[in-house]
Structure 1
Amino acid sequence: MLSLAACGGGGGKGSGDGKGKETQQGKEQSAAAVSISPKSGATGVDTSGALKVNVARGKLTEVTVKDAKGAAVPGSITGGGASWTPATHLTASTKYTVHAVAKDSEGREAAEDSTFTTLTPKNTFLGYFTPEDGSTVGVGMPFSVNFTRGITSPQAVEKAIRIRTEPAVDVEGHWFGNDRLDFRPEKYWKAGTKVTVDLNLDGVEGRDGVYGKQHKTIKFTIGRNQVSVVDAKKHTMKVTQDGKVIKTIPVTTGKPGYDTWNGQMVITEKLAVTRMNGETVGYGGEYDIKDVPHAMRLTTSGTFLHGNYWGGDAFGNYNASHGCVGLSDVRGGSDGSTPAAWMFDHSIIGDVVVVKNADDRTVSPDNGLNGWNMSWADWKK
């Protein structure tokens, strides 16, 4: 611990030569003794828990910590002026300077300065996030991060992700396993909300000896409010915007034994044409359709809202799919007037599709971005 009390007076810029130099007013040297940890010149300093500033026989009045680029580290003086601690972790492989000032009971100042460099990690992790920076998304879109390494210090990682919104709304995080963290408000986002995410993972020890190496700011905007409700018994889908039905579309959902999930599902991907193969979802060789038009993904496991050109008269009449929600379409999706084409053109990533009255359970919250199927109390646990 470096503990050389500098001379007071004249701005407190004493040389710290230990000779007890007097102030410009001829007063005794300050009794306050400032100590900074780690010691000046230290290298390989841990990014969390190592930086501390303390004072004996006095109270801290100013502590400034900056990196080589001049960016300040936030922190607070506590213990009635006895100590200062940073409010966040430090960045890895970074040189920091510390300047601390304290006063003794007579008002005489003492100052201390220090420099140190944080560790360079051998093992690192990243977070792959959605939605993309600058995007406009639907009201059901959470901010979701998938980590490249399993996290064993979830509180440290979650603390390093700050979410700000306009207008302000409480946003909470929820972990799915140890490698995925989603954030959402209690209810769907309000249309027009602007969301800013500070992903400050650089230097966070996510697991023993494994540190984040990422610092990004992501901004996205919530578009109009569109929620579509599929009734598997009535074979219809009512598309609502701002709570008003703008279109009712005949659909077909999962046939017996292949029932569609119930629950709230978020569109995570839009594909003008895609291949759907039963092998990929555990249905063997039951189907292999190479040109499914206007497909929008609802679950990771393979539930889509998509165009269907082979369904005959099923739409609005009976359920004939292998679990997807099918809308009438033409092969190749070239006809823009079909129900599927209309739905595709009027949907964005993050829109919500709610399925009800299907003969299956509610979709798992982690099967896609479908955390809306958890209560707010459970989400915050």
Structure 2
Amino acid sequence: MVALAVGGVLLMSAACGDGDGRDKGADAAGPVTSATPATPGAPGGTAATAAPKTSTAVLDVEPKDGARGVAPTALQVSVSHGKLTAVDVTDKDGKPVQGSITADGTGWKPAAALAPGVAYTVNAQAKDAEGLIAAATSAFTTALPGKQVSTDDNIADGHTYGVGMIVKVEFSSGIVNKDAVAKAITFETDNGTEVKGHWFGDNRIDFRPADYWKPNTKVTVHYRLKNVEVAPGVWGDVDKDEPFTIGRSQVTTADAAAHQMTIRRDGKSTTVPATLGDDKHPSWGGTMVIMSKEKVTHMNSQTVGLGDEYDIPDAPHAMRLTTSGTYVHGNYWYKVDLFGKANTSHGCVSLKDVEGGSDTSPAGSFFNSSLIGDVVTVVNTKEKTVSPDNGLGGWNVSWANW
């Protein structure tokens, strides 16, 4: 302890850990205080000091220090008789957790739920009305997920899709916290295209822009579901990024009345004869999207509830349009050339082909020029508009209702 007399006033200066043990009871983390002037007649001739001032701000951190098995949504910091000045939360690797102090300065919450099964540390500070600082710390570990829901979508990293591509995301069990899940799946585009999600039931959400994608758009889907409680006690399973590209523009119109199919690719149109669903089995109306492509597929009427009406083991150049079984495909089995003249199919759009498939046939040419995600719209059919959840039929929902 060093004493210095200035202008008749004795000022006190203390040094930490001076080795004589006299200051070992001092609280190094406590608020800074000032000594009082010397008091005449004080015992031993030393100055009498006033009680140190302590901040009246009272901090509360939840979860408490040492807590384990904490719900990832439990973290919050609050203060009474003061205002928060800083809240720093980091995981075991030092990665900061984003969050914000409330407008009135009395609370703080993270921007999103914490990750399950991770250790976190909280350091919080607040000031009272006199500017005195209070501090609090807490170290805790979040609970491991008791159950996870699996996530599956219809895109692949780095692939190129048509301008009508709709990203379909399906979950292995029902989602309760739909808003949280939708916010945890975001789309980044190189041209600012806005993308929104639409729920079909509790297990599926589809994403698309207001209009068809602009050709050559670069898109990345960001999944951040691991920190999301999708239903009580159930958590998301994936944090990942999936990039894909939109290719050239191809939009096709199949006219059931004219028995023709018009392909408009990058502004140029080609028309080919076709046959669509007959009067008993009219083709779905409205806009559909190519979901998959198969060089050869087995088409059996029993799989679509039509009994024994047909069984074709090797239908060539098949492109699926609906979950219920609508295709654009090649047809080689007609004995009479009915393409462009009549509607004779069981609901599919059929183009002329040969057995085994020919790359130069109308069906083969269309197959080879098409991408998953290309648009096919059926007009002038007697059937109603396809359901928006039958395949990728979401373009039949207005943007206002999406």
TM-score by length of structure 1 reads 0.89
Q: Please list, as runs of the form range in 1=range in 2, the aligned pairs for 1:253-272 lying within 5 A after superposition.
A: 253-272=276-295
Quick check: 1:56–1:82 contact (8 Å CA) kept in 2? Answer: yes
- The amino acid of 2:365's aligned partner reads W
Contact 2:33 2:53 in 1 (8 A): no
- C-alpha separation in 2, matches of 1:164 and 1:101: 36
Which residue in 1 is equivalent to 2:86? 62
What corresponds to 1:101 in structure 2? 125
**Matching residue within 104, 108, 112 for 1:80:** 104
Matched, 1:172 2:196: yes
- Measured in 2, the distance between the counterparts of 1:90 and 1:80 equals 24
Deviations 1:98-140 (A, max 9, x none): 2223233344433322221111222220111121222211111
Go from structure 1 to structure 2 and tell me whether the alpha carbon gap of 1:310 and 1:101 turns closer, same or farther (over 3 Å shift). same
Query: What amino acid does structure 2 have at the position aligned with 1:273?
Result: V
**Bigger radius of gyration, 1 or 2?**
2
Confirm or deny: 8 A CA contact 2:256 2:276 kept in the other structure.
Answer: yes
- Pick closer, same or farther for the CA change 1:74–1:348 going to 2, 3 Å: same
C-alpha distance in 1 between matches for 2:157 and 2:67: 38
Q: How does 1:55-204 map to 2 (within 5 A)?
A: 55-204=79-228
Residue in structure 2 matched with residue 210 of structure 1 by the alignment: 234
CA contact (8 A) 1:30 1:108 kept: yes
2:59 to 11, 24, 34: 34
Give the match for residue 399 of structure 2: 376
How far residue 352 of structure 1 moved from its aligned partner, in angstroms, is 0.5
> What is the Cα-based RMSD across aligned positions, in Å?
2.0
CA distance in structure 1 between the aligned counterparts of 2:29 and 2:117, rounded to whole angstroms: 37
Give the fraction of aligned pairs with identical amino acids, expressed as a percent: 50
Gaps of 5+ in 2: 1-25, 36-51
Would you say the 8 A contact 1:20–1:29 is kept in 2?
Answer: no
- Counterpart residue number, 1:282: 305
Tell me what 1:13 maps to: none
Deviation at 1:19, TM superposition (A): 8.2
Instruction: Quickly say closer, same or farther: Cα 1:41–1:318, change in 2 above 3 A.
Output: same
State the distance in 1 between where 2:273 and 2:75 align: 63
Letter in 2 for 1:39: K
Structure 1 unaligned segments of length 5 or more: list them.
Answer: 1-16
Residue 46 of structure 1 aligns with which residue? 71
Matched residue SS, 2:202: coil
Matched residue type, 1:118: T
Matching residue of 1:3: none
Counterpart CA distance in 2 for 1:309 and 1:156 is 50
Separation in 1, partners of 2:55, 2:221 = 45
Deviations, residues 272-308 of structure 1 (Å, cap 9, x unaligned) = 1111111100111111111111111100000001111
CA–CA distance in structure 2, aligned partners of residues 130 and 69 of structure 1: 34
**Residue 11 of structure 2: aligned partner:** none
Is the contact made by 2:84 and 2:105 (CA closer than 8 Å) also made in structure 1? yes
Partners of 1:238 and 1:245 within 8 A in 2: no
The verdict on how the C-alpha distance between 1:364 and 1:22 changes in structure 2, with shifts beyond 3 A counting, is closer
Equivalent residues, number: 360
